[in-house]
Structures are given as structure tokens and as C-alpha cells.
Amino acid sequence: MKSHHRMLEAEAWALLGRAPAVTLSSVAPDGLPIARALHGVIEGGALLFHGGPKGEKSSLIGREAVVTAHELVAEIPSYFVDPQRACPATTLYESVELRGPVERVEEPARKARALQALMERYQREGGHAPIDIDAPDYDRLYRKAVDGVVITRVRPRSIVGKRKLGQERPAARILAILEGLWRRGRSGDARALERIRDAHPERPTPAFLRAPGGLELRCALAADDPGALAQAVALVEGQYWNVGVDPRRIADAHRGASAWVGVRDGARLVATARAVSDGGKHAWVYDVAVDPEYRARGLGAATLRLLLAHPAVRTVSAVHLKTRDAQRFYARFGFVEVAPQVMSLRRDDARGGPAEPAVAGPRSLERV
């Protein structure tokens, strides 16, 4: 694998840990290959699974295995970079491969811990007594089951993570891909765009993500974006419309947004805005705020402009919001007051869908 594609080991573990399922592959005792999709958990530097004593996984104990997981970031069609040739079509993804022997975990306390970890991962809401060998009702509730279940683990001889997000491509080609993703605007494209930018050493910034003062807009903030959620909550929790609202609810509202954009100055989030959209008729804009130190520099306007152009928002024919005193700020985007403190923007030219003309791509970027 090319070195620029290789993840740090901690990143490879993180990908393995967040994959909803992993694939365990090996050669069974009858000599035939075997591959199984499984739920696993990471404990003590190994990946653990559970199964029955007669199951196929148990037959793999003592054998070499490979465990894989992958995350699709985006399918990139060829016409993003070349109007004619199919060759630039590619898939951007992250993947991980862990190799090692399959071992049986015998110690009841470890088995119980692994099963409890599986429950915490896949039944996060709880609703059961903890599987804890020291708990008073362990014998009654779990001893027999834990003794009967087979816990296996793959302890890594090697773990290799691959990140293929166009890092090796020249910035001009990446820009064409970023612009293509924004135009296409399928679900997940805005987030993919941010991941590709983050991975690229030159961090190309398309024109639609440039903010005044040399700052960068972010078109898809996410709860896993370092610090974004806490910083957005901090920016909006003191505002008049959030008085008395539990900050956890504000955080949930950002997680549940159809679009959540902002401006960063380095690691600091200095502007934020989000929208909830039905994708066709209506969207509502909420929680628009700029850090007081950064106001009156055009960042609020840049943030709102990006939000209105976001794939989840630009397709609707009416965008609404409530404001007590910023009517003039919104009026310049075409919002009009339709009721006291309620403004709407009607856009009968809203783009209906993410269709992309297959031949009308940009000029060929074959040589960039």
C-alpha cells in the first residue's frame, strides 16, 4: 500500500471499532474458505466475538484469520473530472484489515466483560442487569449462559488501515471532485466533501467554502467533527430563543439537523447555522449565530448563504425562520416577513433533484 494511504494505527482501530459489523475470513478445517459478517468489540487490544460451541467460529480456533471493515465515503463519477472518458470513475473509502490467530477466551470474568461490552455497543439504551461476575445476581442470571457461550478473539499480528480519499491527487482534481459532490448533493456528499478536504495535504478550498477574512466555511459539521457540537452549543445556548432549553436538547437538535454549517478559525468554530428540511417543500432555519468577536465581518451572511445552497435546503420551494430583531439581516437574502417575527423565502426555481448531466462535465482534468 502507498504510504500516503496508510492510517495511523489508532485510526485503524477506531475504524474497526465504529464499523457496524466486521467480516471475519479464514479457512475452515475442511479446507474451504469461510467469511462471516459479525458483531465484535475491541477489548484489551484484540477484537472479540461470541458464538455457540458448535458454531463455525468455534471451528476456527487456532487458525489464522483476517478481519476486515470498510466505510464508503463517496462514489466519484468520471464526469466530475472528465466529460468523456470513464477512467477517472473511482470510489473513495476507508478500510481496515486485522490479521492474527483466532483464540478462545476461557476466563469467565473476561468472557463476562466481553459480553457486557457487546451489550453496551449494540444495546446502548441498557435495559438489562450488567453482566458482571462480581454482581450479586450473576449466578442466577448469567453464570450458565456465560459458561456456555464461546468467546473468541483475534489478537493482531498486524493491523493496517487504508484511507483512500484522493490524498495523492493534485489539488485541481480534488477541487473538481469537491465541486462535483456539492453539485450532485446526494445524501452524504457534503460530509464526504469535508472528509476529502481533511485528508488532502493541500486542503483545497473551493470558492463556495471561502469566507471573508481568509476563513473557511464548513458545509457539513457533524457530531464527530472534533469539538464542533460543544462549540455550536456554546455559541447558541445563551441566545434569546434558547433561554431555558437544556443544552443536551440543543446538541440533539444539531445531530438531527438536515444541514449544519459553520465557519472555523483553526479549531475554533466561530459561526454556526442549521436547517431541518423535508427535501421538497419546506425547510426551517435555526440556531444562526456568530461569535461576538467575529461579528460584522460578513461571516453571518456567508454562513447563511452556504446553508441556503446546501443540498438539503436548496431543493425546497420555501425556507422559513423566526427572528425577533434580525429581519434586515435576512431580508437581503429575499426573506420576507409573513407573520410577526416569521420570515419566509420562496424559491420556485428550487432544484428538484440531484440529477447530474452525464456529458456536460467540466473541461478535462486528465493532465492535472
Ligand X SMILES: CC(C)(COP(=O)(O)OP(=O)(O)OC[C@H]1O[C@@H](n2cnc3c(N)ncnc32)[C@H](O)[C@@H]1OP(=O)(O)O)[C@@H](O)C(=O)NCCC(=O)NCCS
Query: What crossing angle do the helices spanning 228-236 and 247-255 adopt, rounded to 10°?
Result: 120
Nearer to ligand X, 129 or 326 (CB): 326
Q: For residues 2-21, b (16+ Cβ closer than 10 Å) or e, as one string?
A: eeebebeeeebbbbbeebee
For residue 274, the minimal CB distance to ligand X (Å) is 12
Nearer to ligand X, 180 or 300 (CB): 300
For residue 330, the minimal CB distance to ligand X (Å) is 7
Nearer to ligand X, 145 or 326 (CB): 326
- Interface with ligand X (CB under 6 A): 239, 288-290, 295-301, 323, 325-326, 328-329
For residue 331, the minimal CB distance to ligand X (Å) is 9
For residue 249, the minimal CB distance to ligand X (Å) is 18
Cα–Cα distance list, 301 to 210, 228, 295, 307, 308 (Å): 12, 20, 10, 10, 11
Query: What crossing angle do the helices spanning 189-199 and 171-184 adopt, rounded to 10°?
Result: 170
Cα–Cα distance list, 29 to 33, 56, 106 (Å): 9, 10, 21
CB 362 within 8 A of CB 176: yes
For residue 265, the minimal CB distance to ligand X (Å) is 13
Nearer to ligand X, 190 or 304 (CB): 304
Nearer to ligand X, 288 or 316 (CB): 288
**Closest Cα to residue 180, out of 2, 366, 321, 358?**
358
Nearer to ligand X, 63 or 295 (CB): 295
**Residue 57 is placed in which grid cell?**
467460529
Q: How far apart are the first and last CA of the chain?
A: 23
Nearer to ligand X, 134 or 325 (CB): 325
For residue 296, the minimal CB distance to ligand X (Å) is 5
Q: Give start and end residues of each alpha helix (H) in 42-128.
A: 56-59, 108-122
For residue 338, the minimal CB distance to ligand X (Å) is 15
C-alpha 298: how far from chain center: 29
DSSP string, 286-302: EEEEE-GGGTTSSHHHH
